[in-house]
Amino acid sequence: MTVLEKLLDGDLSALARIISYIENREENYKKLLAKLYPKSGRAIKIGFTGPPGAGKSTIVNEISKMLAAEGNKVGIIAVDPSSPFTGGALLGDRIRMHDMPSDGSVFIRSMATRGSTGGLAGATNNVTIALDAFGFDFVLIETVGVGQVELDIINTCDAVVVVLVPESGDSIQALKAGLMEIADIFAVNKADRPLSASIVAELNNVLDIKREKTGWKLPELPTEAVNNKNIDTLLQELKSFIEFSQETGLFEKHRREQIKKKIFSIINFDLAGIMESKIGGVENLDSLVNDIFNGKTDPFTASKKLLKLSDLD
């Protein structure tokens, strides 16, 4: 049996090996993905994003236990761009997730960025394809909602939960960071803390415009993940959203858009790689930057020259 056959046969260690292979973009990883892709498409993918420390991992932990108890298989991808620097966040997650079912119904995978964000969103999406093909009913993706790369990761999902906390200041901050657009449900976690109710009310006001536009009720729920309070309601709302989305055609529309974005992202990633090798790596690029900086040429002419070099213009 090949590793791929083993994966499709439900072998978790084969899955882990293939994920590493894909994550590191080893030789022919795309051929492998092309074989996995037709087996994918069944899993419901849910993203959880928000500021560090908001309680995303705690929520994902509780939700996956509930889903597993219903007989679902759950794959979790924890993306933590800060991990190469602190190393602490993922360790904390692992400790917190020690009470997960040990029957293989919940599988957790961390994605480290090794100090670079290049291609992270694409790699996460590729890993999701492997989990989907493996047969997980749900794939939960946790990512810190701080930058564009993290928001790009959320593009992979069918539904997005934005997790906020009362003390993260004002909800407006999160809305400014683009979280409003991507949220299908808001969880205002740490409801045991002061100001929780006022944040919920504040959000409620701001969200009305989006509600009118989409027809979705866009709930904002107070949760207390650490004591498993209201997480059952959160899961219920998630299921309602998926249902709403499937009934209104939003689900399919969204997935079609994702395919389009995927094509462009593959091309962009490959193109960047080709460009880099064709121009002989960073050194040439530096001298080109130098020439532009010194006024000998300009970015527009330089890019055209590079495209010519790569036979791609």
Ligand X SMILES: Nc1nc2c(ncn2[C@@H]2O[C@H](COP(=O)(O)OP(=O)(O)O)[C@@H](O)[C@H]2O)c(=O)[nH]1
Question: 83 contacts which partner out of ligand X, Mg ion, none, CB within 5 to 8 A by kind?
Answer: none
Q: Does 228 bind ligand X (CB under 6 A)?
A: no
**Type of residue at 185:** I
Q: CB under 5 to 8 A by kind: which of Mg ion, ligand X, none does 206 bind?
A: none
Expressed in percent and rounded to 5, the helix, strand and coil fractions of the chain are 60, 15, 25
> Which residue in 47, 55, 75, 145 binds ligand X (CB under 6 A)?
55
Can you tell me which of 57, 143, 171, 265 binds ligand X, judged by CB under 6 A?
57
Please give the residues from 79 up to 118 whose contact with ligand X meets the rule CB under 6 A: 92
DSSP type of residue 218: -
Token code pair at residue 1: 């049996």
Per-residue binding letters, 187-216, with ligand X (x by CB under 6 A): --xx-x------------------------
What is the distance in angstroms between the CA of the first residue and the CA of the last residue of the chain? Answer: 43
Q: Is 53 in the site for ligand X (CB under 6 A)?
A: yes
Assess 230 for contact with ligand X (CB under 6 A).
Answer: no
Q: Is 225 in the site for ligand X (CB under 6 A)?
A: yes
How far is Cα 241 from Cα 48, in angstroms, rounded to an integer? 14
Other C-beta atoms closer than 10 Å to the C-beta of 192 total 12
Closest distance between ligand X and the C-beta of residue 149, in Å? 17
Closer by beta carbon to Mg ion, 45 or else 56: 56
Which of Mg ion, ligand X, none does 224 bind, CB closer than 5 to 8 A by kind?
ligand X
Is residue 57 part of the contact set for Mg ion (CB under 5 A)? yes
Q: Which does 189 bind (CB under 5 to 8 A by kind): ligand X, Mg ion, none?
A: ligand X
Name the DSSP class of 229.
B
> Concatenated DSSP letters for 94-156?
HHHGGGS-SSSSEEEEEE--TT--TTHHHHHHHHHHHHHHHT-SEEEEEEETTSHHHHHHHTT
Which DSSP state fits 41? Answer: S
Which secondary-structure segment (H or E) carries 186?
strand 185-188
Provide the minimum distance between the beta carbon of 76 and Mg ion in the complex, in angstroms, as a whole number: 11
Nearer to Mg ion, 18 or 234 (CB): 234
- Binding residues (CB under 5 A) for Mg ion: these are 56-57
Binding site for ligand X (CB under 6 A): 52-58, 92, 189-190, 192, 224-226
